Structure 1
Amino acid sequence: MKKEISIVGVPMDLGQTRRGVDMGASAIRYAGVVERIQNIGYNVEDLGDICIEREFQINENEKLKNLEQVVKVCHELAGKVDNIIEKKSFPLVLGGDHSIAIGTLAGVAKHYKNLGVIWYDAHGDLNTEETSPSGNIHGMSLAASLGHGHSSLVNLYGEYPKVKKENVVIIGARSLDEGEKELIQKEGIKVFTMHEIDRMGMTAVMEETIAYLSHTDGVHLSLDLDGLDPHDAPGVGTPVMGGLSYRESHLAMEMLAESGMITSAEFVEVNPILDEKNKTAIAAVALMGSLFGEKLK
């Protein structure tokens, strides 16, 4: 990985309806992310937070809640990520809800012809306004990045799908809506559900993931803390029982570090209001340590 890392915080909670996730980036910083990564040997530049304006429209579209504001923030984030990569630095984005991935991927995709994506999440985030039960855009971010959904999300920062369907791996899925299941089947998206992870073991899952994405020219890691079991990461807005363990997640990050394939990353959905003594942010920072090559010996 690049020795220069640039951090951007995105304190946005507009992609969903549970308040508090806008404090996620602050919680992760408070848990010592900068110091942790510096101690591994990286030069870390913290670029601060994107400013989020909270102006709610009276006649907002219930199928796409806070669309204009989400698009505005994601466009600004895309520009920042684009500039970070231009400067030969590694972009590390701290959320905020998972709708910010639309912006992160839009900025990253400018620099790769064959970008891979690892979506570490309990959810597929593969809904569109037609299939979403809630209208929350944080459940549409991967779909939009694949070219499905509202034009302002799909074409954000460039009119093209940001990632190809054959370059995506979802890890940890255990809560998928019917529309998401149909899209997965139709597009042939690679998914490791908890059933497969339990049967195969995390080592085999990560070996297969790394091999599956070996043809790409860069890989973005989008890690939603609700991918972990609520026992290990209670401070998330949409917890789902039966998730990935803390140990499995560390192993996954360590194997990605060894592969050297990760070129950008984001950690999202930390909600300190729902947390226990900042446990989830502390877990996020620990996982970042493993991702960036922290070793016991």
Structure 2
Amino acid sequence: MNKKTISIIGVPTDYGQARRGVDMGPSAIRYAGVVERLEAIGHTVQDQGDIRVSQKLVKAAIDKQLLNLEEVIDVSTSLANRVHEVVAEKKFPLVFGGDHSIAIGTFAGLGEHYKNLGVIWFDAHADLNTPDTTPSGNIHGMPLAVSIGIGDERLVQIRKYAPKIKSKNIVIIGARSVDPGERELIHEQGIKVYTMHEIDRLGMTRVMENALAYLKGLAVDGLHLSLDLDGLDPLYTPGVGTPVPGGMTYRESHLAMEMLQESGMLTSAEFVEVNPILDEKNKTADVAVALIGSLFGETLV
């Protein structure tokens, strides 16, 4: 296993969704011992702390299709700049959310370094809504759409280029709650999706083998993992804002992380949507740290 220099970036924001508490996710993951776990495996860890997240400004006019837009733009821009710097320094960016809108900033920071970045998106949701299709106005349901260049231009053009990733380079794994507009975009853009139906039928081993072979076939020059803890069944991760029953098991998720590690393809990662207020004794953060251990080469023997 190649030892890495890992730069941890916390993004304590809940502006992308409606339930308070997910802004404490980075602290919960740190409290669960992530730095010590990574160092025990043999990696060098540099915790860069949290990016600054400003307090919400009270405005007279609110766009109900893009809630907290200005705040999300501010957070995404700061994160994009930080991720860009980390990659330029040849370090591995490991980002902790916060809600999943932070992926907008992560991709904006990565995109200039890779011509053909691959993406594995572990999530119960597709996060491919736009201002025209969103049922809630919550921007944490839009980051993949924004990153392929579809959505509000102020989000799409963070760091002044678009798209950040190619639609064909995305593999969504674990989806089980997909909105009608997202379904249309998946078919229109040719995005590869392995729902829980495929995981149940094929097993996680086949799904991961197929996903990695697909991305290798596209000759991706980097691979980003974006893992929403609601991708797992709420039995294992109760502390998330949008739980959906029938998700991946604890062991299926570990197997997926282990196979990603074995592929040698991974170049960046983010773990999002840990909400300590909704959690049980920091259980969800503990699961996140255990998965991070498997992703970075932790073994039993």
Q: Under a length normalisation based on structure 2, what TM-score does the superposition of the two structures give?
A: 0.98
Which structure 2 residues correspond to residues 12-23 of structure 1 after superposition, within 5 A?
Answer: 12-23=13-24
Of 266, 291, 294, the match for 1:290: 294
Task: Give the match's secondary structure for 1:6.
Answer: strand
How far did 1:2 drift? 5.7
Q: Tell me by how many angstroms 1:54 deviates.
A: 1.7
Q: Secondary structure at the match of 2:113?
A: coil
1:158 Cα deviation from its structure 2 partner: 2.8
Aligned residues: 297
In 1, distance between residues paired with 2:178 and 2:289?
27
Partner amino acid for 1:286?
A: A
- 1:11 corresponds in structure 2 to 12
Deviation at 1:55, TM superposition (A): 2.1
Q: Which residue of the partner structure matches residue 140 of structure 2? A: 138
Runs of at least 4 residues off by over 4 Å: none
| 1:110 Cα deviation after fit | 1.1
2: distance between equivalents of 1:210 and 1:177? 26
After superposition, give the CA deviation of every residue in 1:55-102 in whole Å (9 maximum; x if it has no partner).
232312111001011001100100100000111100000000000000
| Deviation digits for residues 16-38 of structure 1 (CA, Å, limit 9, x no counterpart) | 00000000000000000000000
Report the equivalent of 1:174.
176
Q: Could you tell me which residue of structure 1 aligns to residue 272 of structure 2?
A: 268
Runs of at least 5 residues in structure 2 that lack an aligned partner in the other structure: none
Contact 2:3 2:44 (8 Å CA) reproduced: no
2:14 touches 2:20 (CA, 8 Å); kept in 1?
A: yes
Taking the aligned partners of 1:28 and 1:166, their CA distance within structure 2 comes to 32
Seen in structure 2, the aligned counterparts of structure 1 residues 218 and 2 have a Cα distance that, compared at 3 Å, is farther
Two-structure CA RMSD over aligned residues (Å)? 0.8
In the alignment, which of 188, 192, 195 is matched to residue 193 of structure 1? 195
Does the CA-based 8 Å contact 2:121-2:171 persist in structure 1? yes
Deviation digits for residues 211-260 of structure 1, max 9, x if unmatched? 01111000100000000000000000000000001100000000000001
Mapped partners of 1:157, 1:35: distance in 2: 34
Quote the residue 1:76 is aligned against: 78
**Deviation (angstroms), 1:155:** 1.1
Written as runs of structure 1 = structure 2, the 5 A alignment for 1:94-243 is 94-214=96-216, 215-243=219-247
Code of the aligned partner of 2:35? V
Q: In percent, how many aligned pairs have the same letter?
A: 67
Q: Secondary structure at the match of 2:119?
A: strand
SS in 1 for 2:158: coil
Structure 1 portions without partners, runs of 5+: none
